[in-house]
Structures are given as structure tokens and as C-alpha cells.
């Protein structure tokens, strides 16, 4: 015959045990959240955009990258998804959904150019 009091004691022991790893797990989650937040705000260049930057000798300095990040944030606030960003007579098509530059055009190729599938523009 099973002693019901013994089972109650064992089950109450399990309820009182609190593993220490939860604190570290929360710290890791906070770090992951901060890292993901930082990465979400940074614009990256697609393979195609990197090729166009090299082919067209487009200067992507720290200042240009900062302006792209600002433009992405502004466009997201307005609910835009695919944006034309103009910076110093250079054009960048930016997807705010993936925070990725899709393509880049220099000032010489801007003339007579038509941009389609965009829902907004940001001039910096």
C-alpha cells in the first residue's frame, strides 16, 4: 500500500526547487534582444546592391550608412515598405521589411531612370 503522505512530501519538494539557470537564461535573452534590436536597425546591402556599388563606384561611407539607417527608420514610421532613398545625387532602393538595400544607382545613371515598385521616397 502506498503512503499518501510520502507522495505529498515528494511533490512539495519538487514545487520548492527553483533552478538557478533561469537568471542566466533571462540575461541571455536580454542580450539576444539587445543584439537583435541593434541588428534590426542597421541597414545591410544585398548581394545585388554590393555588385552595383562596386560597378558604379558609389561611395558608401559611414555618413551614407548613417543616412540610410535614418531613412529606413523614418520610412518604417510611415509604414513604407520599399523606399527610394536619395543621398548626395545617389539613389538607393531600400526594403524596410528586411532593412536591406536592394540596389544602388550613381548620379550618372539617374537621368532618364524610372523607379518602380516603391511606395515612398526619402531625400537626405
Mean pLDDT across 30-37: 66
In the chain the domains, ranked by start, together with CATH numbers, are 4-38 (no CATH), 43-123 (3.30.2310)
Dump pLDDT digits (tens) for 35-92.
666 656 789 999 999 999 999 999 999 999 999 999 999 999 999 999 999 999 999 9
Dump pLDDT digits (tens) for 84-124.
999 999 999 999 999 999 999 999 988 888 899 999 999 99
The pLDDT of residue 42 = 86
How would you label 48-86 residue by residue, b for 16+ Cβ within 10 Å and e otherwise?
ebeebbeeeebebeeebbebbeebbebbbeeebebbbbb
Mean pLDDT across 14-22: 54
Amino acid at each position: 500500500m502506498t503512503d499518501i503522505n510520502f507522495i505529498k512530501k515528494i511533490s512539495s519538494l519538487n514545487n520548492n526547487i527553483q533552478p538557478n539557470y533561469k537568471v542566466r537564461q533571462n540575461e541571455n535573452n536580454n542580450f539576444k534582444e539587445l543584439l537583435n534590436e541593434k541588428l534590426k536597425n542597421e541597414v545591410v546591402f544585398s548581394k545585388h546592391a554590393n555588385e552595383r556599388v562596386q560597378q558604379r563606384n558609389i561611395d558608401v561611407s559611414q555618413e551614407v550608412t548613417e543616412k540610410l539607417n535614418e531613412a529606413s527608420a523614418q520610412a518604417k514610421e510611415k509604414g513604407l515598405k520599399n523606399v527610394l532613398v536619395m543621398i548626395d545625387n545617389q539613389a538607393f532602393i531600400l526594403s524596410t521589411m528586411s532593412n536591406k538595400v536592394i540596389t544602388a544607382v550613381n548620379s550618372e545613371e539617374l537621368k532618364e531612370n524610372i523607379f518602380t515598385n516603391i511606395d515612398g521616397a526619402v531625400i537626405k
